[in-house]
Amino acid sequence: MIDCVFIGYNDMPFAIVEKTMGAKGKDSIDYKNLNINFINYKGLPLTASEVFNTFYYENRDMNDGIGPMNFDNIFSPAIAYLGTYLDRRKLSFEFINFFQDEKERLISLLEENQIATIGIITTFYVSAFPIIDIIGFIRRHNTDAKIVVGAPYVASQFRSLDEESQQKLLKTIGADFYVNSAQGEATLVRIIDSIKNNIPVSDINNIAYRLGDKYVKTPVLEEDNKLEENTVNWKLFKDSLGSFTAARTAISCPFSCMFCGLPKQAGKYQTISVEAIEREFNTIEETGKIKYINIVDDTFNIPLDRFKDILRMMIRNKYSFKWTSNLRCQFVDEETIQLMKEAACEGVFLGIESGNQQILQNMSKFASIDKYRTGLSLLNKYGIISFASIIVGFPGETYDTFMDTVNFIEECQPTFYNAKIWYYDINTPITGQKEKYDIKGSGLQWSHSTMDSETAINLVHEMLFKIQNSIFGPQYNFEFVAIFNLLHRGIALDNIKKFIMSFNQGVKQKLINPGIPEISSEIVESMRKALA
C-alpha cells in the first residue's frame, strides 16, 4: 500500500491555453495579458521556454542530463516538504514531479499498486483546468484511490466564492477531498489515517468531502505545523533530483501589502533557525546533484540580522550550489550585498511594484524610491542579477505615475523587469478601501477612480516599447528562475539577454502587425544565433 502519491505541476500545452484565452476574444483583457508572453512560429504560439527548446535542441541531444526547459527542471519544494512530513510519520509516498512528462510512470503507479490517497498540489494554479485534467487522467487508470486537492488554490476559492459557486466548482473538479487550510499537511495525515483504518471523515477539520450529490465542509481549525520541526530531508529524493531545486526558510510574510493575500492565506509569519537551515542545506549538498537553489521565501532578508547570519553560515560551509531569492532591496546595505555575493548569490527577484512614491504608499509597501535606488545601485555594483516586478493600474495609478515607473526603471537599470496588470483579489486588504477608490469588478476586469483595466493592460504593452535600459522578462512559464536555468546550462548572460531581447522583438512585431501570422526570419535567426 502506498499511503499517498503526490502529483506536481501540470504545465498544460500552451497552444491549449492560448486557444482557451483566444475564445474570450483577442481584444479581451485576458488575451491581451497573455499576448506579450508568446510569439507565433510555424503556425504555433510559443512561449520563451518553448522557443528555447525548439532552437537550443536543433543540434543537441535532449538527453543531455538537463532536458528541455520546463517546470520539471525545478524539483517541487511542496513535494519535498510533504514527502518528508509523511516519512517522519512512518507513512509511505511516491511522487510525480511533472505531470505532462511522467504520465507513463504515473500509469504504472496507478495500475500496479494499492494507493490510499493521491494528493494534487495546487501551488501555481490560478484556474481549475490543470486539476481537472489530472483527475480525468487518474480516473481512467484507477478508480479506487481517493483524490485530495490541497491548498492554496482551494483555500482561495473558498474565500472568494459563495456557497452555490463553491459547490459547482467542487463538483466540476471532482475530487474526493478538498483541504481548506493555510498549511494542510496534518489534515492530509488524518485523511490517510481515516481511509486506511475506515474511520469516519466527518471528524476531520479543514476539509470538504463528498457526501451524496454535494460536498460537506467541516469546521476550519488553523494548523500550527512548525517549519523548524519539519525541514526537508533531501536524502529521500536523491535519486530523483536534477540540477535545480527550490527551498524555503520561512512561511508567510511579515508585511501586509494592500494587493497581496499571502499573510491572510499563509497565516502567522514564522522563520526557522540558522542551525536548521544549515542542516537542510547540508543534506542538499550531500546529494551531490544540486547546482542551483531558488529560495522561495516571500521575504528572505527580513529580519536583516538573521539574513546576514544565514549568509555567513553559507560562506563558512562553502556550498557548491549557487542560489537566488526574493529580496526587499529597501532593506539592504553594502555589507549585506557583499555577503550575498560571497555566499554565491546569483540573482534576486525584487517586488518593486511602482516607481511612484504615492502609489507605493497606497500599496502599503513601506518603501521609499530613494532606498530602491540605493539597493539597485548596490546590486548592479556587485554584479548580482536583478529582476524587478512591476504592477500597473493599482488604485491611484494615472499616466503620470506610470511614467514615473518607466523613468525609474530607465534610471536604475535592473537587469530584467516584468510588468503585469493589477489583479484585484477581493480577499486582499485593498478591499477595505473599495469605496475610497471607487473600485468595481474583480480579477482582471476592474475600474477605479483613476484608471480601468483596459487602460492598464495597454500601458503594460506600452512599457515594452518605452524601456531601453532594462530587459522585459516574459512571464508565462519563464520569468525569473528561467534565467538561471539557462545560466546553469552554460549559456553566457550576454547570450541570454540577446535571446530574450530577440524574443521581445518578436512580441513587438506581433503587437504592431497583428495580422502577420509569423515572426520575421531575421528575428528567428537572431534567437538561433544567441543560443548557438
Any residues with CB less than 8 A from the CB of 342 and at least 6 apart, and which?
Answer: 311, 315
Q: What is the DSSP letter of 424?
A: B
Binning pLDDT at 50, 70 and 90, where does residue 71 land?
Answer: low
Q: What are phi and psi of 137, to 5 degrees?
A: -65, -45
Mean pLDDT across 236-255? 92
143 and 258 together in one domain:
no
Mean pLDDT of 200-204: 93
The verdict on 507 and 479 lying in the same domain is: no
Q: In 3D, which of 351, 331, 338 has the Cα closest to residue 383? A: 338
* Position 18 confidence tier, pLDDT thresholds 50, 70, 90: very high
35 assigned to some structural domain: yes
485 with 500, same domain: the answer is no
Domain boundary among 167, 196, 217: 217
Beta pairing partners, 45: 40
DSSP string, 282-323: HHHHHHT--SEEEE--TTTT-SHHHHHHHHHHHHHHT-S-EE
- Tell me the residue type at 234: W
Task: Looking at the structure, tell me whether residues 210 and 85 fall in a common domain.
Answer: yes
| Residue 458 Cα distances to 62, 143, 153, 328, angstroms | 38, 47, 29, 28
Instruction: Return d(Cα 93, Cα 326) in angstroms, integer.
Output: 30
Note the pLDDT of residue 72.
54
Judge residue 438's burial from the number of C-beta atoms within 10 Å of its C-beta, 0-12 exposed, 13-18 middle, 19 or more buried.
exposed
Domain assignment of residue 147, given as a range: 2-217
Of the candidates 217, 238, 254, which is a domain's last residue?
217
Report percent pLDDT > 90 for the chain: 81
Q: Which three cell numbers stand for residue 400?
A: 503620470
Same domain, 124 and 264: no
Global pTM value:
0.93
- φ/ψ bin of 175: left (φ > 0), alpha (ψ from -120 to 50), beta (otherwise): beta
Co-location of 149 and 252 in the same domain: no
- Domain termination residue (choose one: 193, 217, 241): 217
Instruction: Let me know whether 98 and 209 are in one domain.
Output: yes
Contact between residue 495 and residue 530 where contact means Cβ atoms under 8 Å apart: yes
Residue 74, pLDDT score: 85
Cβ contact 395:354 at 8 Å: no
Residue 184 and residue 256 in one domain:
no
Mean pLDDT of 71-87: 88
Cα 221 to the center of its chain, rounded Å:
27
* Sign (positive or negative) of CA dihedral 14, 15, 16, 17: positive
Domains: count for the chain: 3
Mean of pLDDT values over 288-298: 94
The three-class DSSP label of residue 129 is helix
437 shares its domain with 417 = yes
Mean residue pLDDT across the chain: 94
Whether pLDDT at 283 is above 70: yes
Confidence of residue 155 (pLDDT cuts 50, 70, 90): confident
Q: Are residues 343 and 359 in the same domain?
A: yes
Positive or negative CA dihedral for 427, 170, 126, 481? positive
The answer to whether residue 222 sits within a structural domain is: no
The CA-based angle 508-510-516, given to 5 degrees, is 145
> Based on the domain organization, do 325 and 413 belong to the same domain?
yes
- Secondary structure of residue 515 in the 3-state scheme: coil
Number of C-alpha atoms within 13 angstroms, CB side, residue 31?
16
142 and 260 fall within a common domain: no
Position 510 pLDDT exceeds 60: yes
Banded pLDDT at 60 (limits 50, 70, 90): confident
Residue 362 lies in a domain: yes
Mean pLDDT confidence for 447-455 = 98
* Residue (of 43, 62, 40, 47) closest to 12 by Cα position: 47
Cβ atoms within 10 A of the Cβ of 218, count?
16
Asked if residue 525 belongs to a domain, the reply is: yes
Alpha-carbon distance of 531 to 151, in angstroms, equals 38
- For residue range 94-122, list pLDDT tens digits in order: 999 999 989 999 999 999 989 999 999 99
pLDDT in tens, 333-356: 999 999 999 999 999 999 999 999
Q: Which residues contact 198 (CB under 8 A, 6 or more apart)?
A: none
